[in-house]
Structure 1
Amino acid sequence: MLYQMLEDDFDVEIIGPASNKGIWFPLRSLKGIHIKISRTRNMLKMIDGEIVFASKPLIGSFGVGILAKILKGKKLLVDIDDWQLGFIKHEYSKLNFAQKVIRLVKDLKRFFYIDSYWNCMLCEKLLFFSDGITVSNSFLKNRFKGTTIYHVRDETLFNPERFQKNALREEHNIPINDKIILFLGTIRSHKGIESLISAIHEIKNQHVKLMLINSCDDNYSLGLKNEAESKLGKRVILLGPISFEETPEFLAIADLYVIPQTESFASSGQIPAKLFDAMSMGLPIIATNISDIPDILQECGWIVKSNSPAEIASAIIHAIENPDEAIKKGKKARQIYLETYSLKIVKPKLTNFVFEIIQNSKS
């Protein structure tokens, strides 16, 4: 989305490392984006623009940007959309003292991995090299300062008027009278999917079904899928990764979107981008009281306690039994999105931010 917000005013290209699997699946099908893939050690040679805009404070992005600043005189910006060190602290919190020591030693050996403690910790310490920082929520702003740029979506692509729910359900063999509760994204332990599965299990209405669309296939995700199938049987629809362009289609199929984040180091510095996906598509939303979520949702969703399947279940039942209220909240979500978080609204803010960096470098 940074690319899309800047491409009209600047010549933009994406340079980055990739594993043997290539470009991240949800982005592979995007057209019109100039992407160069290279090994990390060759990325510096490929940088020829005035400004390097690093994605996340990591060695493979921000570290390369620091070298470009020192050796090539480039201006260096960094976008911090999640608290990377928080993800690692969350994992470390599950370990005992001996396990933490072992993990710290291992992380030193795997320094360049994005989930290495030393990689994330060092890059946070080196943020003084940056000429500007953008962040995605108030936690990150308090920690790193910078300019807040929320996750945005193109309101012309994420537009509920483009889709017919009944036709899409027929295409995907989903009964019209089923109530589809959607979670779409990367399954991680701080996402609270266990609570969502338990909440659906508590609901007696057999037409209430969970659609779980997951973008990865690690052991944790596979375990949760097995748990969902065991508890819910035919009341769960499990799908693998979908492309970014397919996302609004599956949102259009759903009746409710649930964001069951748990309170943790990982979630404190994160605003799920899927929150804005759901708002843009006019879906009523149930979410936990984590990070900036309550402030963003305001009157366009229901806020529940984290780690509370009973509260999630109660909110789902309420939304289903009060369809007029749910529709009203969905329309309000779309309105707030268009007025505050859409591409049209946020794009000028980011563009002006970059222009100011350029202007300051010339003065």
Structure 2
Amino acid sequence: MLAKALEKDYEIELLGTAFGTGTNWGKGLWLPLESENLEIKQVPGDYFPGYFASMAKLISQITGDVVIACKPRLPSYGIALVNRLIKKTPIILDVDDDEIAQTLPGKKVKFHNFIRHPNGYWATRLMNVFRHSADATFCVSSYFQSRYGGVIVPHGREVNGLKPGMYKREDVVNDLGIDPSKKTIGFIGTPQAAKGVHKVLEAINKLNRKDVLFVIVGGDISEPYLSGLLAEYPNTLMVIGPQPLAKIAYYYAAIDIIVLPQENVSVSLGQMPAKLTDAMAMAKPIIASRIADIPHYIQDCGLLIEPGSVDELADAIQWLLNHPDEATSMGLKARKAFEEKMTTDVMLATMKKEINRCLSVSNYPNN
């Protein structure tokens, strides 16, 4: 997302570690990135102490005048800090998640993931010590801005990259095998308990409406959380696996209402779902939790609910289903708000100021 905005005015290089999981350990891109027209340099991941060699390989390939470290994690921010020591290259830290909360060890966490993994809990805690050491900071919400400082850069999309009318609903619904008479509630992204996905099914069950289908796009049915929901709600839930970003507009065409019912837990407090931007760009009526900066973007063009409230979620779904004209109008207002606040042009304008400031005060030898 950052690269797509910045490539309008800058030459971009994307570098990173391919960790992967299981049999894909040490290789493989995140699936949504595979369809993007971006050149990405990868170094195979490893546990410490082997990862020191990976760090050296990455640092040797960094040629930029400014390094943007995506997330305060050791394989990004840590490498950027070491690179600055060697090359004097300024760093901009980008924060869009509570990484410590994301890496809190569970009951069954393996020792080498807890201690030796570069993305593990202790490595991430170490990076938090240096959270104010960057030359500038991009934050996705005011919550993170209060902790890290810097400026707010929203999740943005190309103004014409996602827009309503790219696909016909009836065509997509037919392709996916969805009963065209059913109303579709959609969640597009990685379904997790912290994102309140189960509450949507509870709300639909409370309404006792047989004409409603909940569609999740981006789910892995081998995950216990999602497989459990499928077993409990076989006639209400449809799951479509992870998809490349280039196909997201296709699936949005089949969705009548988008839900983003974030829970009030530590991993969600400052989180701004990128799918909020996508849904607004696609002119979809949105129901979302009153959390982080979500109200700032959809106060006048969406329905806000208290995190965790099944009753409020059910009422919001019912209201939108019973008021289709108002739902359509709400989606059009969301599209307008997207164009004003959440495009890549908006991102670029903010980022350019910080990049230029970093370059003007840096000791980088090319300046």
The within-5 A match list for 1:56-205 is 56-89=71-104, 109-112=115-118, 114=119, 116-205=120-209
Do the aligned residues in 2 keep the contact of 1:194 with 1:224 (CA within 8 Å)? Answer: no
The residue aligned with 2:8 is 8
The residue aligned with 2:49 is none
Question: Which one is further off, 124-133 or 279-288?
Answer: 124-133
Do the aligned residues in 2 keep the contact of 1:284 with 1:301 (CA within 8 Å)? Answer: yes
CA distance in 2, matches of 1:111, 1:125: 18
Question: Which one is further off, 286-295 or 52-61?
Answer: 286-295
CA distance in 2, matches of 1:273, 1:11: 24
Structure that is richer in helix per residue? 1
TM superposition shift of 1:326:
0.6
CA distance in 2, matches of 1:357, 1:216: 41
Runs of 4+ in 1 over 3 A off after TM superposition: 102-108, 215-218
Do the aligned residues in 2 keep the contact of 1:260 with 1:306 (CA within 8 Å)? Answer: yes
CA distance in 1, matches of 2:110, 2:136: 30
| Identical aligned residues as a percent | 27
Do the aligned residues in 1 keep the contact of 2:137 with 2:149 (CA within 8 Å)? Answer: yes
CA distance in 1, matches of 2:316, 2:287: 7
Q: Deviations over 1:1-43 (max 9, x none)?
A: 1111111222111011103350001111112x11101133210
CA distance in 1, matches of 2:93, 2:333: 33
TM superposition shift of 1:107:
6.2
CA distance in 2, matches of 1:107, 1:127: 22
The within-5 A match list for 1:23-34 is 23-31=29-37, 33-34=38-39
CA distance in 2, matches of 1:245, 1:104: 35
Q: Deviations over 1:177-226 (max 9, x none)?
A: 211000111122211112112112222221110001235466xxx33333
Change (3 A) 1:17 1:215: farther
Do the aligned residues in 1 keep the contact of 2:140 with 2:152 (CA within 8 Å)? Answer: yes
Q: Provide TM-score, normalisation by structure 1.
A: 0.90
Do the aligned residues in 2 keep the contact of 1:136 with 1:149 (CA within 8 Å)? Answer: yes
Question: Which one is further off, 296-305 or 171-180?
Answer: 171-180
Do the aligned residues in 2 keep the contact of 1:16 with 1:37 (CA within 8 Å)? Answer: yes
The within-5 A match list for 1:251-262 is 251-262=252-263
The residue aligned with 1:50 is 65
The within-5 A match list for 1:266-305 is 266-305=267-306
Partner SS, residue 93 of structure 2: strand
Do the aligned residues in 1 keep the contact of 2:132 with 2:148 (CA within 8 Å)? Answer: no
Aligned-partner residue type, residue 7 of structure 1: E
Q: Deviations over 1:147-181 (max 9, x none)?
A: 10011111211111322212222222223221100
Do the aligned residues in 2 keep the contact of 1:201 with 1:231 (CA within 8 Å)? Answer: no
CA RMSD in angstroms, aligned pairs only: 2.1
Aligned-partner residue type, residue 110 of structure 1: R
Change (3 A) 1:134 1:209: same
Q: Deviations over 1:116-163 (max 9, x none)?
A: 221222111113331111000010000100110011111211111322
Question: Which one is further off, 344-353 or 244-253?
Answer: 344-353
CA distance in 1, matches of 2:129, 2:101: 15
Q: Deviations over 1:83-104 (max 9, x none)?
A: 1113245x66xxxxxx6xx979
Q: Deviations over 1:213-246 (max 9, x none)?
A: 235466xxx3333333333323221111011111
Partner SS, residue 68 of structure 2: strand
The residue aligned with 1:357 is 358
Change (3 A) 1:255 1:11: same
Do the aligned residues in 2 keep the contact of 1:5 with 1:350 (CA within 8 Å)? Answer: no
The residue aligned with 2:322 is 321
CA distance in 2, matches of 1:253, 1:104: 40
CA distance in 1, matches of 2:280, 2:87: 42
Change (3 A) 1:16 1:207: same
Residue in structure 2 matching 1:38, options 32, 43, 48: 43
The residue aligned with 1:95 is none
TM superposition shift of 1:105:
7.3
Partner SS, residue 250 of structure 2: helix
Change (3 A) 1:250 1:124: same
CA distance in 2, matches of 1:160, 1:263: 31
Question: Which one is further off, 38-47 or 179-188?
Answer: 38-47
CA distance in 2, matches of 1:193, 1:108: 27
Change (3 A) 1:217 1:169: closer
CA distance in 2, matches of 1:128, 1:313: 42
